[in-house]
Chains A and B, each alone.
Chain A
Amino acid sequence: MTMAAFSVARPGSVEEALRLLADHGPGAMIIAGGTDVVPNLQMKLFSPRVLVDLKPLRQLSKISFSKRDGLTIGAMTTLSHLLESTAVREQFPVLASAVGTIAGPLQRNMGTIGGNLCLETRCRWYNQSYLWRKALGGCLKKDGDVCHVAPGGKFCWAAWSGDSAPALLALDAEIEIAGPKGARRIPLKDFYKNDGKDRIALGLGELLTAVHVPARMAGRRGVYHKLRIRDSIDYPLAGVAVTMDVDRAGVCRDARVAITAVNPAPLLIPQAGDWLEGRKASPELIARVARAAIQTGKPLTTSALTPVYRREMVHLHTRRALEEAWQGRNGHSN
């Protein structure tokens, strides 16, 4: 498949990148690893005039960690590099396990954490070729006015289908954004707009530069569960990330639960922390949080497997992830 014509700009600094974004306005599009952007360009989902290629910005591909300042990951850090980081693996197991499930090893060698946090939302009526979409007559998200997932609706339900975001939400991460008005730092949860058509709060001319995980999250137990059909390559069809601080008595001091791939955004389960804090594990409590997860998660026919099943798996994996976190297990499971 060919791509429409565009030029590629390769800035040497963040400032230059911002200048390019400012100069080209809506005609500019950011490319990092390219694993999401290039197939989308080949499907003619976007028609940028200029691609601003961030790969030359080596300064954005560093990982630093200290017990005092926490973890900082440059946005251009590849997913493979992130997995190789001892600090990430040892101190933030939920992040390592989530990132380890992204696509496959070769995609992770290219894809970046910034790119993964800025993924396009996905829908089986949208992630199709120009030929396919033209035969369909488009959809609400692109070239049409009908939503094929929720006909009659005017809201786009394309699903947020990233794996790193729920883990980072569960780690209470913040992100750093550079823009024409300078840098700003916001909680990651405020980055996602839960709108399939307008997914992230990245303004015109802005650029994600780094992810911060607070120091207090270091060493936090964490589990990521991913529902997918194949054990590699596939995007999540549902995902649950849990982090938990448990004292010696087995009492939860702090916990976060986030879900992915069942809404247009990765979402924290709002009540989970309050309910879990100060409590010991019990089947009733875990069931209550799992029920809350499926009140938040609203899978629709955007992907493979039925919404009913995916909803049920959100429930089940929330339960399992909480049990594992409480028992002190780390890692990921399908």
Chain B
Amino acid sequence: MADSANFSIIGKRMAMTDARAKVTGLGKYADDLAVAGMLYGRFLHSPHAHARIVSVDTWRAEALRGVKAVVTGKDAPNPYGILPIGHDECVFALDKARYIGDNIAAVAATSAEIAEEALDLIRVEYEPLPAWFEPEKSMQAADHWIHETKPHNIEKEYHHVFGDPEKGFSQAAFVAEQRYYAGEVNHAAMEPHATLAIWEPEGKLVVYSSTQVPFYLHRTVAEVCEMPMSHIRIIKPLIGSGFGGKSEVIPIEVAACVLAKKAKLPVKMLYTREEVFYAHRGRPITIVDLKMGITREGKISAVQARVVQDGGAYCGYGPVTVLYSGALLGAIYDISNVRYDGYRVLTNKPACGAMRGHGTVNVRFAFEAMLDELAHQAGLDPAEVRRRNLLKAPCITANGLRVTSYGLPECIERVVERSGWREKRGKLPFGKGIGIACSHYVSGAANPIIRSNMPHTTVNIKIDRDAGVTVYTGASEIGQGSDTVQVQIVAEVLGVKTGRINLVAADTELTPIDLGSYSSRVTFMAGNACLEAAKNMRAQILAAVAKEFACPADDLDARDETIFRKSDPQKRVTFDEAVVMAINFHGALFAMGTYAPPEQARGGKFKGAGVGPSPSYSYSAQVAEVTVDPETGHVRVDRIVAAHDCGRALNPLTVEGQIEGSVYMGFGQAVQEEMVWENGRLMNPSLLEYRTPTTIENPEIECIIVESHDPEGPFGAKEAGEGSLAATIPAIANAIYDAVGVRINTLPLTPDRILAALREEQKKAGGNGAGANGGRR
């Protein structure tokens, strides 16, 4: 293997291996698949936010010509959930409907029109119950709890204290205390969820589904359909991205299977965009009561956060989200004294879950905005305050997180340089502003959702006499470049062109288990498994060549499709020849690699300590520049400079794509995206009214890759796909303050909120009402 300066594939910009399939339109996503005799499935949803289901009468629907199966809660009563502690949902509500849009029944028919007609023929008798929509009210509920087993509608609460927060605050020269509120946002992946479930005559199910986690879907279908896992095959086709929205088992996936099993026919289901919002699992409404103290020198002396998350009607990933919110107060800055109180609350709305930057984003917004405020109070440069709170890696944080590589200092330096921070900060004309913020994220969770000693990823490689290299991996390509990075790693180690590698991915019948594409784990974990498998394969090939050359194996290297002697590079064989030698020597070539996070990476022992630990953390620093119209409150984000420490950029093209995509998504949440509720009713369940950014208002994004070479990452790599999102929001909020002198603690930072804050500021300043020119200047 080449040394780091001399890679032939790693670190090179490489088009994604499936790019051709995507640009020709020939690649198949779940809804592009069809089989003969396929039925169309449709859902019946609850019109009530909270209601006892008295009866469900389906005979009229069943009698409609063309209807092949109608299923209700009785057909699939086994509860499930992504967390072992949260098996609280059934694919169809059994006893109660818990939100408007909850699933009551489904129909499979010979056409979508007939299925929809049949839905209108199902009679459901409901007994409406008082419903809970506001998390802080829901926590006070004395009765009519959403789940009887969860008193006062509290799904989970955690209380952590590290160090001595009281003492820390007493040492602070400046203390700020604020309430922050972040609205609810949705992944809005362009592909609505779709599933094709094919019932095989042998009594088996083949399921093509838009999932980030085929392994968890596999388990859940087995549990709900009461079939052995060995009779179920989950295949992940192309996925129109996920961002976490496909990282839990989504009702459509199970419903299609239940219908197919009952009809004994293939069934395809596709969500409407509205249904995607009911399936949701996005970022929850989050209330953050934050208190922070800094010393006169700008050192953070204590942090106290109380976080309430509006989780919706089911558990989902909820406890993990609220734990991340607390745990990731750590591992970015050096903070010894932390108090965290986190509450995950149930309400009668669609369940929230994991979304890009899971758990950290809203708290990071609050934290970085408050740090900016404290820096101003202390009369310090906000970039300098961040520098004064850096960790000294390697280290273990107060809450037990192990930091192995730490590119944050360089990220800050690079964005300060590139953005012209020193020249611009505090010097731009009124209405123009510049802001800085940082963020970080895990490279996969060190502890699996379902506790076991199983490796988090296993990768197999097979080479036969054709010298084609087939990699079998469970990792799920969802648009982030997972397939490509695995191909690159294997090709680099074996010294072959990437075109020689055939990747078979995410098919439970063919590929070994991988936990899925979530928590930014694929490059680090599947990457390490690929690395190990490829090294094992390489060792077999080199051993055979060494025998042939009668030289030690460590005198051999593989590169550019040849195996050669390092001491005599003219002594060489082609990869094809080497494979033949190896097969003659070993038989068909097979190698395996696995990855499990090391024991030291798995965190502390306190309750909730399992969430937050990661084998490695990524870092981001960003500077945003904005123009605020002080008369309308409208914000234009002119430019964002983002530096991200991804350890090593195995493929700079896709790393940049991930960073830019994260910044864009942060921008959307910062200024314009929000799910709007009226008494549990989602008012904007469409891409017309849920406003993801268009090309016009989206900022110019400049991307800087920082490489800290993690000691345990594959070739030093760590995550790139999520860590940059969280910094974007506070960078924009801080730039707005720099522009017009107001701090908005509520997301999104809409023009009406900004204008109201400007007015308020004027009033405080005893403004004379002559134009909105209050603020700091």
Contact = CB atoms under 8 A, between A and B. Distances in A.
Interface string A1-39: 110000000000000000000000000000000000000
Interface residues of A, number: 28
23 contacts: A1-B272, A124-B683, A129-B685, A132-B274, A132-B681, A135-B45, A229-B672, A230-B691, A230-B693, A230-B696, A230-B697, A231-B694, A231-B697, A232-B696, A233-B688, A233-B694, A235-B688, A304-B684, A305-B751, A308-B752, A309-B752, A309-B755, A312-B755
A308 B752 CA distance: 9
B632 interface: yes
Contact of B694 (A1, A129, A230, A305): A230
Contacts of A124: 683-684, 689
Interface in A193-235: 227, 229-235
Contacts of B681: 132, 135-136
**Size bin of chain B's contact surface:** 20 to 34
Given A2-B113, A230-B672, A306 B691 contact: no
B47 interface: yes
A316 B684 contact: no
Contacts of A134: 47
A312 to B, nearest CB: 7
Nearest to B668: A230
Given A229-B672, A304-B689, A305-B750, A131 B274 contact: yes
Nearest to B47: A135
Interface string B649-665: 00000000000000000
B694 A232 contact: yes
A1 B272 CA distance: 7
Contacts of A230: 672, 691, 693-694, 696-697
Given A132-B274, A316-B632, 7 more contacts: A132-B685, A135-B100, A230-B694, A231-B694, A235-B688, A312-B755, A316-B631
Nearest to A134: B47
Contacts of B112: 2
A2 B116 contact: yes
B567 interface: no
Contacts of A231: 694, 696-697
B572 interface: no
B695 A232 contact: yes
A128 B697 CA distance: 26
Contacts of A316: 631-632
A59 interface: no
A173 interface: no
Contacts of B632: 227, 313, 316
Nearest to B115: A2
B296 interface: no
Nearest to A3: B113
A104 interface: yes
Q: Is the interface of A mostly helix, strand, loop or mixed?
A: loop
B676 interface: yes
A119 to B, nearest CB: 14
Interface in B684-711: 684-685, 688-689, 691, 693-697
A85 interface: no
A327 interface: no
A271 interface: no
Given A129-B274, A306-B752, A309-B755, A234 B691 contact: yes
Interface of A: 1-2, 104, 124, 128-129, 131-132, 134-136, 227, 229-235, 304-306, 308-309, 312-313, 316, 334
B634 interface: yes
9 closest Cβ pairs, A-B complex: A135-B47, A231-B696, A309-B752, A232-B694, A231-B697, A232-B696, A2-B113, A230-B691, A230-B694
A233 B686 CA distance: 12
A241 to B, nearest CB: 18
Contacts of B116: 2
Contacts of A308: 752
Contacts of A334: 634
A131 B277 CA distance: 13
Contacts of B46: 135
A123 B88 CA distance: 36
A2 to B, nearest CB: 5
Given A135-B681, A230-B697, A233-B694, A129 B272 contact: yes
A131 B278 CA distance: 12
Q: Which residue, of A1, A229, A232, A309, has the highest number of chain B Cβ atoms within 10 A?
A: A229
Interface in B590-645: 631-632, 634
Given A1-B272, A135-B47, A334-B634, A309 B694 contact: no
A137 to B, nearest CB: 8
A312 B755 CA distance: 10
B524 to A, nearest CB: 36
Nearest to B48: A135
Nearest to A5: B113
Interface in B356-377: none
Interface string B75-114: 0000000000000000000000000110000000000110
Nearest to B674: A304
Contacts of B48: 135
A131 to B, nearest CB: 6
Contacts of A313: 632
Contacts of B689: 124, 304
Contacts of A131: 45, 274
B258 to A, nearest CB: 20
Nearest to B111: A2
Contacts of B631: 316
A312 B634 CA distance: 13
A259 to B, nearest CB: 16
A143 to B, nearest CB: 13
Nearest to A312: B755
B621 to A, nearest CB: 28
Contacts of B101: 135
Contacts of A234: 688, 691
A227 B634 CA distance: 10
Nearest to A129: B274
Contacts of B755: 309, 312
A1 B685 CA distance: 14
A305 B750 CA distance: 8
A113 B676 CA distance: 32
Interface string B30-56: 000000000000000111100000000
Contacts of A135: 45-48, 100-101, 681
Contacts of A229: 672, 691, 750
A209 B4 CA distance: 71
A318 to B, nearest CB: 13
B691 A104 contact: no
Contacts of A1: 272
A269 to B, nearest CB: 20
B751 A309 contact: yes
Nearest to A306: B752
Contacts of B274: 129, 131-132
Contacts of A235: 688
A151 to B, nearest CB: 12
B121 to A, nearest CB: 14
Contacts of A2: 112-113, 116
Contacts of B697: 230-232
A1 B119 CA distance: 13
Nearest to B100: A135
A305 B684 CA distance: 12
Interface in B112-169: 112-113, 116
Contacts of B683: 124
Contacts of A309: 751-752, 755
A227 B755 CA distance: 14
